[in-house]
Amino acid sequence: MKGIVICNGIVEDYNTIKCVGADLIVCADGGADHAYKAGVVPHCIIGDLDSISDEARTCFESKGVEFSKHPRDKDETDTHLAINYCIAHGCDDITLYAALGGRFDHAFANVSLLAMLKQRGISSCIVDGDSVLYVSDDVLKISGKQGDLLSLLPLGDGVTILFTDGLYYAIKDRKFPFGYPFGVSNVFTDSKASVRLSGGWLLAVHTVL
């Protein structure tokens, strides 16, 4: 089941928010404004609801959209709540839009949520314009095209890349210590690239050219 979460980060082009084929669309609070501007009607708007505009609220209330209000003082971010809503409703594949830009702490928190989803066996990614972000601790298989970029960045110590396939700069049995961004701007040589890890968490950023 495919879930879409629209967050409250930065959106430069609303045409990049693609919800066709989604089974469930959830907005994290002010992400409802992005949905409104993109012409997307969500199934639910969740959070402390302190960021959504009156215009978007009125529009979606008139369309019968569910509003799930939570206290301002809580452990989870609004995006985390939206993801939990998707999981509770059976989603096993979740894409986040508008998850980056704005406050860096929120952006990094959203990236970390990809690791949580991976641990729970749920496929996930963040789509940000021409870039797609993935987090993995074992195997990554990414579709693209020749010439696209793929940056591989450790999210901590203990990352070893056993091998890669479909990339110009082949990597084999190499440790990627945190703080040394050796893996920036590798290049697709085919329509698919794969990476196998041994330990640690890796952030992969696919930039479509």
pLDDT value of residue 168: 98
pLDDT value of residue 205: 98
Residue 32: count other Cβ atoms within 10 Å of its Cβ.
Answer: 29
pLDDT value of residue 199: 85
Residue at which a domain ends, from 85, 113, 129: 129
Percent share of the chain, pLDDT over 70: 100
Q: Say yes or no: 169 and 118 in one domain.
A: no
When pLDDT is cut at 50, 70 and 90, the band that residue 107 belongs to is very high
Residue at which a domain ends, from 129, 158, 177: 129
Q: How many domains does the chain have?
A: 2
- The helix (H) or strand (E) run that includes residue 93 is strand 93-97
pLDDT value of residue 102: 87
For 112-135, give one letter per residue: b (16+ CB within 10 A) or e: ebbbebbeeebebbbbbeeebbbb
Tokens 């989603």 locate to: 91
Residue at which a domain ends, from 78, 112, 129: 129
Closest residue by Cα to residue 124 from 135, 139, 109, 140: 135
CA–CA dist 173, 14 (Å, integer): 41
Q: Say yes or no: 121 and 41 in one domain.
A: yes
Write out pLDDT tens, residues 48-65. 999 999 999 999 999 999
- DSSP assignment letter at 174: E
Percent share of the chain, pLDDT over 90: 99
